[in-house]
Structure 1
Amino acid sequence: MRLVPEQHRPAIYVPQKVLLISVLSVPILAFFPVLEITLYIAPRLGFFEALQIVLLTYTIGTAWDATLFISLILLFVITRTQQTKLLSFVGMMLTILLMLALAWSSHAAAMDKVLGVTSDMIHLIAMSVWVGILLVVGYFATNTQNWIAFLNWFTYTAIGCVATLAISGFLLMDILVDGYINAWMVDYGQGMLLKHLLVVPILLFAGASSLIARFKLSRNTDFNPLPWMRLEGLLLGVLLIVTGAFTQQPPPGHNVTTEALSPIFKWFHPDVVVEAGSSIGFVVNIQSVLFLFGSLLSIIALVGSFFLKKLPPAVSFIIGCIVVLCIYFLLMTTSVIRPPGFMGGGMGH
């Protein structure tokens, strides 16, 4: 944001301690997967020898080595007293290198080195640009000056990021998942589904906050767009937490059995038996009809809440969460397990 001319954005102040904590947290949090593998092989080799092997020979270990090295350089850059445009550009490039290190150690990279790393890195960059701007402006803007000028470029930036996320996301799913719907049977697929459902209220929030801000600020009202941007950032934060949780799970294999079922999926289908080659199909029942109406009503309520002047933005946030839950319950109650070789024309195939 320091590279954006001041006349095209509100005034922003990010405390130095926030930047320091952010940079330091990257290698610390990235170390947990390294530690997990180390503890797995430590009983045979001893902790320190296992740690040395992981850091020097495992992809996730060498990626962490690079993460630590880049983070230390980035730490040096942001602690410089005088922050110039050049230093800001260097900091941005170092951040992109951190994303490359993370993409290098991802599940997608393990399955397809070139396409996996490229898709994962592009996905990370697009998400970071979109979410990063929202969080920085939403929580660290000191005023709302130049807001229309800010929206004029950020709206198109966000649209470009969403399109990039969609394309790179499809590429990643093609690498990692053998059938998107069938993946709902395992934890990885459940997390992926929740992530995608969260996009629905996020996009509605983004569109509404942009349109409402333009309309009200053009009429010189005292409208404050920051609470709307903060709630959109909060929803995106929830999305990132869900993403972080399910990406730590192994991607589903070609054949899922009952033992590998997600506990959440089992809760909706307690007596189901899954064999290798089973798939998910869909049926219509009374529960699905109720949740369909609930989904439509909650979406209408969410859109309507944007135009009620005295309604706090927090209410819209709660309704947005209800939208996600209703659509999720709709999908879970309509899904059924089809036996291997089922040829009934079900949507699960």
Structure 2
Amino acid sequence: MGYVIPFFEFGNYFLYSILVGHIALQFVPEDRKPKSKIAKPFLLLSTLGIIIFTLGPILQTIYYFKDGVGLGLAIRTVFIDFQVGKAWIFIGFLATFLWMALQLNASKYLQALLILLMILGVGYSSHVASLSFWTGLISHSLHFLLVTLWTGILIHVAWLSKENTDWGKFLRWFTPLALVSLIIIFISGFILMVFMVEPKDYVKAWVLPYGQMLLLKHISILPVLVFAIINGILVRKTILIHSFNPLPWIRGESIFLFIIFYITAVMGTLSPPHEIEFTLKSEGPSRWVEWLLGKNITTTLNTHFLTNFQSVLLIVISIHFLIMILISFKKVKPLLGVFMGLCFIVVLYIGMMFSLYI
């Protein structure tokens, strides 16, 4: 079950992004966006797909309780008493109306209202909302909305549009939107993280599977920032050189966002380490960390960040990979930039692990 649920979560992020991007682009004038090639049946299937993929956390919860109370009682309890079950009913109800709105080409304002209410349902079902309702609801909903908005527009533009468009007009409004979204995503993401892992325990959490995914997520954000900077520079270049095609670079940015989506999906299946030491005792450490460091981890009391020659060397090398992304832009080789971004994630991650003193 633990290996299947991340794919449900990833599918959920992806389909929400498709719908949010489609609805958001309806509010953009035709001459300031590329023409999308997405078919209506795919949009309709996306709404139905959300109903199915949102079942992921519910199935995980039912699977957890079924041996103790029985399958029937577990199903009834999850759907009636748990926030995640109530949210699924709410989202499924709205997704059905959104399907009808898309099928009948209803007002874009109605479509926007329905998708916003569905996103509030996602925020309501979040773990943070169960700890602090209003803070969790608002922070998670806002975080989810802006991530899917940013990614959704990129998906439509990078993978589902025609190339013969005025990219300068598109990038002139999208770059500021991405920048504002990024700032709010960072703020809301930090608020959500504090409920999961206290900042003082951030490094200690690395010995746990959840902490590993959190570290990988944060590392993976850096190549996204570099590609966002490159795409911001493209605004000026497209003005000077109208024949320049920024599409491969926009696709590169979307690839790293997909990586972050999957990491976030995996995090959703893991226990948040509110108490690091208790979580370590009850669920055990990350086997990967034990293998990488060659140690049996039984406590985090003395765990802290301590650099050494190996870790510093790897961190320096990772920075070079990050710089190579910018150099690949100068050489007009977007595929090389994506490869360098992947190398950066791997090398910096290993460097951070070698800095983990236990």
- After superposition, give the CA deviation of every residue in 1:98-135 in whole Å (9 maximum; x if it has no partner): 11111111111111111111111111111111111111
Task: State the TM-score, normalized to the length of structure 2.
Answer: 0.86
Could you tell which deviates more after superposition, 326-335 or 290-299?
290-299
Question: What residue in structure 2 maps to residue 176 of structure 1?
Answer: 196
Q: Are the aligned partners of 1:111 and 1:176 in contact in 2 as well (CA < 8 Å)?
A: no
CA distance in 2, matches of 1:264, 1:96: 39
Q: 2:157 aligns with which of 108, 127, 137?
A: 137
CA distance in 1, matches of 2:87, 2:242: 50
Q: Are the aligned partners of 2:203 and 2:305 in contact in 1 as well (CA < 8 Å)?
A: no
CA distance in 2, matches of 1:283, 1:181: 10
DSSP-derived class of the 1:10 partner:
coil
Structure 1 runs not aligned, ≥5 long: 338-349
Q: 1:282 aligns with which of 291, 305, 321?
A: 305
Shift of 1:136: 1.2
CA distance in 2, matches of 1:104, 1:189: 24
Structure 2 residue identity aligned to 1:30: T
Question: What residue in structure 1 maps to residue 318 of structure 2?
Answer: 295
Question: What residue in structure 2 maps to residue 205 of structure 1?
Answer: 227
Is 1:90 matched with 2:110? yes
- After superposition, give the CA deviation of every residue in 1:214-265 in whole Å (9 maximum; x if it has no partner): 31x2234532211211121111011101111112211103242365212222
Shift of 1:175: 1.4
RMSD: 1.8
Q: 1:101 aligns with which of 118, 121, 129?
A: 121
| Identical counterparts, % of pairs | 29
Question: What residue in structure 1 maps to residue 89 of structure 2?
Answer: 65
Structure 2 runs not aligned, ≥5 long: 1-24
Alignment of 1:155-174 (within 5 A): 155-174=175-194
DSSP-derived class of the 1:244 partner:
helix
Could you tell which deviates more after superposition, 282-291 or 188-197?
282-291
- After superposition, give the CA deviation of every residue in 1:253-282 in whole Å (9 maximum; x if it has no partner): 32423652122222223324333x615312
Q: Measured at CA, do residues 63 and 279 of structure 1 come closer, stay the same or move farther in structure 2, by a change above 3 Å?
A: farther
CA distance in 1, matches of 2:138, 2:32: 31
Task: State the TM-score, normalized to the length of structure 1.
Answer: 0.89
Could you tell which deviates more after superposition, 264-273 or 29-38?
264-273
Q: Are the aligned partners of 1:255 and 1:278 in contact in 2 as well (CA < 8 Å)?
A: no
Structure number with the higher helix fraction is: 2
CA distance in 1, matches of 2:65, 2:315: 48
Shift of 1:46: 4.3
- After superposition, give the CA deviation of every residue in 1:10-42 in whole Å (9 maximum; x if it has no partner): 222321122122211111111122122223333
Question: What residue in structure 1 maps to residue 344 of structure 2?
Answer: 323
**Over alpha carbons, which structure has the higher Rg?**
1
Q: Are the aligned partners of 2:205 and 2:276 in contact in 1 as well (CA < 8 Å)?
A: no
Question: What residue in structure 2 maps to residue 111 of structure 1?
Answer: 131
Could you tell which deviates more after superposition, 266-275 or 50-59?
266-275
Q: Are the aligned partners of 2:195 and 2:274 in contact in 1 as well (CA < 8 Å)?
A: no
Could you tell which deviates more after superposition, 294-303 or 58-67?
294-303
Alignment of 1:1-349 (within 5 A): 1-43=25-67, 45-80=69-104, 83=105, 87-178=107-198, 179-212=201-234, 214-215=236-237, 217-256=238-277, 257=280, 260-275=284-299, 278-309=301-332, 311=333, 313-337=334-358
CA distance in 2, matches of 1:281, 1:144: 53
Q: Are the aligned partners of 2:210 and 2:272 in contact in 1 as well (CA < 8 Å)?
A: yes
Q: Are the aligned partners of 2:290 and 2:297 in contact in 1 as well (CA < 8 Å)?
A: no
Structure 2 residue identity aligned to 1:15: A
CA distance in 2, matches of 1:278, 1:220: 58
Q: Measured at CA, do residues 212 and 150 of structure 1 come closer, stay the same or move farther in structure 2, by a change above 3 Å?
A: closer
